[in-house]
Structure 1
Amino acid sequence: MKAFGWNMMLALAWVVLSGSYTFSNLFGGMLLSYCVLAYVLRDRPAFELYFGKFPKMVKFVLFFIWDLIKSNARVAYDVLTPTHLMKPAVIAVPLDIKSDAGITVFSNLITVTPGSLALDVSTDKKVLFVHLMYFEDEQIHVAELKRLEAMVMEILE
């Protein structure tokens, strides 16, 4: 059984044995079983991939939440003030992600963030066209999006 399957099985056993069927208890059981499995299976190379992804996922979630907060604040400020600070533009972001799933996840993360929208992918899947509400400098925006793309590639590899 894969490491995630063992993690879920132990977490569900924790919930059943504790008798408290709540989401927080399931989450606690998942964290506890993750720590137990990470210790018990530390010498097996097959499980290294699973246990190495968790810190990357936490880093990505925190990064994306911070990015959402910043972009929401910027859009809210522009809506609430009488002057409009919008400078819309479409930029081309070169893609390093090769898989369709990776491109889809990356473009959806861009679209979910307020102030940006993934428009189209080139036919050769090497460029993603992104519409921005607040354009300043293309190099800065491309660098920010490339950082997000690198994090997505780390998680999906």
Structure 2
Amino acid sequence: MKNRFLSNILLTFIWVAITGDFAFLNYVFGFILSFIILYVITKGRGDAKYFKIIPKLIAFVFFFLWELLKANLQVAYDVVTPKFYMTPGIVRVPLEAETNLEITLLANLITLTPGTLSLDVSDDRKVLYVHAMYLSDKQAFIDDIKNGFEKRLLEILR
């Protein structure tokens, strides 16, 4: 997988050098073009994990940016209006993530989203404690984390 990624980056730089256009969009186009070329060249060979992970990773970045935008707008609306709409609470989120990397990334993604903060992980690493500023329905909040961040993150890491 590392070799394919490095090949993809190398082909991207070759594309940019040949075209002579050092704009960001040309790098993106070169990356996509070299990704397609590598996919066609290596189609039918064993390990195709790289070609599954990259689209999921890109989709995850857009998902995170969308969640970030929604949370920022919710917090900003609460700040500029005279009435506070906060209903804070602490929630126990059961974890499917098992490794330290998976739990750490999930906790950091939750903390990076405004209005939520990862507080602690249980000693057996089965539960993540999360503080939420806007907690109207605990189960819906847990489902959002499980079906959003955790599910997508585990699809990439496993």
Provide TM-score, normalisation by structure 2: 0.93
- 2:7 aligns with 6
Amino acid at match of 1:4: F
Identity of matched residues, % = 42
Deviation at 1:70, TM superposition (A): 1.3
Deviation at 1:21, TM superposition (A): 3.0
- 1:143 aligns with 143
- 1:94 aligns with 94
- 1:27 aligns with 28
| 1:32-88 alpha-carbon deviations (Å, 9 max, x no partner) | 100111111111121x10001122123222222221121111111110110001111
Root mean square deviation of aligned Cα: 1.3
Summarize the alignment of residues 2-151 of structure 1 with structure 2, pairs less than 5 Å apart. 2-46=3-47, 48-147=48-147, 148-151=149-152
Amino acid at match of 1:67: E
CA distance in 2, matches of 1:12, 1:30: 8
| 1:118-152 alpha-carbon deviations (Å, 9 max, x no partner) | 11111111111000001111110000010110100
SS for the counterpart of 1:60 is: helix
Amino acid at match of 2:34: S
Deviation at 1:106, TM superposition (A): 0.6
Runs of 4+ with >3 A deviation:
none
The runs of 5 or more residues in structure 1 that have no matched partner are none
SS for the counterpart of 1:2 is: helix
CA distance in 2, matches of 1:146, 1:131: 15
CA distance in 1, matches of 2:66, 2:30: 27
The runs of 5 or more residues in structure 2 that have no matched partner are none
SS for the counterpart of 2:108 is: helix
CA distance in 1, matches of 2:113, 2:19: 39
Counting matched residue pairs gives 156
SS for the counterpart of 1:96 is: coil
